[in-house]
Amino acid sequence: MDERCSSPDHVRLSLAAAMTLDLVPGLFYRNARLGCINLLLTYPGGCAANCAYCGLSNTRVGEYEDKSFIRVAWEVYALDEVIGRIVERESYLARACVSMVTHRQAPADMREVVSRIRSRSSTPISVLITPTPLSREDLVAMKDAGADRVGIAIDAAREGIFDDMRGEGVRGPHRWERYWAFFEEAIEVYGRDMVGSHFMVGLGETEREMAEAMQRIRDMGGVTHLFSFFPEPETRLTDWPQPPMGQYRRMQLARYLIDEDVGRADRFGFDADGALVSFGIPDDELERVLASGEPFMTSGCPGEDGCVACNRPYANSLPGPDIRNFPFQPSEEDLEKVRSELWSK
């Protein structure tokens, strides 16, 4: 990668974002529309982390600029061009999200990129951050530059899984305690409901462990943005299976109940294997939630209208009938299928 094409003057864009900004041609399945432009910092040396499931892992075969991320290409574009196209589309774009990789320049470049977007656009800005190289002062600086929300991808629901897949088990720099402590600091700086965790269902945790991790986040004042594991080719987890659809549907519903303060993990019922068997709320309340379809839509940062902006179309499943996160309101036919999947194994 040419040193001149690195951040902060250049960023990588998700394929969905590039399509939305008319930088590449394409159509979304079922006319889904992306509400958030995702920008990723980029460097010739790539990311210093080595997460077992990540397409940007420094031990994955290939040149860094050619590596996919979340199973799609992220091409490099000039930041000024990206901002100009965001400004032209402000009438329907609800948010921009600047994401960092683990790199020594990333803290300063996050502030710079956020500031440059804010200087030209009124679009709300989130930052998706890696606690490892950051300080509390960096959190404050990004907020002062114009970011109003923070995302922190903890990903694994249990410490042992985190260590095996992100920490010492893969000779990676990330540490479980650091992520949780920094999440608490982020809430202190940005406020309740303004910091989101990312968790990935299907890394070997039980349903009880995932529910309890999401409840811990909620009790701290945060919310959860939930993903289904979807293997990236040529990573350590290439052959790791996706979680069963029933498991993911139960965790989506659990997340919604927890984040909306309708239910709590300590009131859910679990069997001896840690599988969720009841949600601990009245049947009529559960039916109301199911009928809304909202638990099965993508969870992410909202726009100014309060609706999810970061809807990441098809980020953790292929376009088609087996959608895991609906990037739009599910139809009655969709919900009928979801109901049939909810208690499946």
Strand partners, 200: 227
Q: Provide the mean pLDDT of the chain.
A: 95
With tokens 């139960």, the residue in question is: 250
pTM here is 0.96
**Amino acid letter at 223?**
V
Q: Which residues, other chains included, contact 340 with Cβ-Cβ below 8 Å and sequence gap of 6+? A: none
What radius of gyration do the chain's Cα atoms show? Answer: 19
145 pLDDT exceeds 90? yes
| Percentage above 70 pLDDT, the chain | 99
Amino acid 232: pLDDT: 92
Strand segments (E) across 65-170: 75-78, 95-99, 125-129, 149-155
Mean pLDDT calculated for residue range 142-148:
98
| Percentage above 90 pLDDT, the chain | 90
* CA–CA dist 25, 40 (Å, integer): 20
The band of 3, judged by pLDDT with boundaries at 50, 70 and 90, is low
Per residue in 61-97, pLDDT tens?
777 777 777 777 899 999 999 999 999 999 999 999 9
Per residue in 242-255, pLDDT tens?
999 999 999 999 99
156 pLDDT exceeds 90? yes
Amino acid 15: pLDDT: 92
164 pLDDT exceeds 90? yes
* Number of helical (H) and strand (E) elements in the chain, helices listed first: 10, 10
Mean pLDDT calculated for residue range 304-332:
94
* CA–CA dist 20, 93 (Å, integer): 9
1 pLDDT exceeds 60? no
133 pLDDT exceeds 90? yes
Mean pLDDT calculated for residue range 225-238:
94
Amino acid 66: pLDDT: 73
Per residue in 10-65, pLDDT tens?
999 999 999 999 999 999 999 999 999 999 999 998 999 999 999 888 877 777 77
The sheet with strand 195-201 has its strands ordered as 75-78, 10-13, 36-41, 95-99, 125-129, 149-155, 195-201, 223-228
Per residue in 268-301, pLDDT tens?
999 999 999 999 999 999 999 999 999 999 999 9
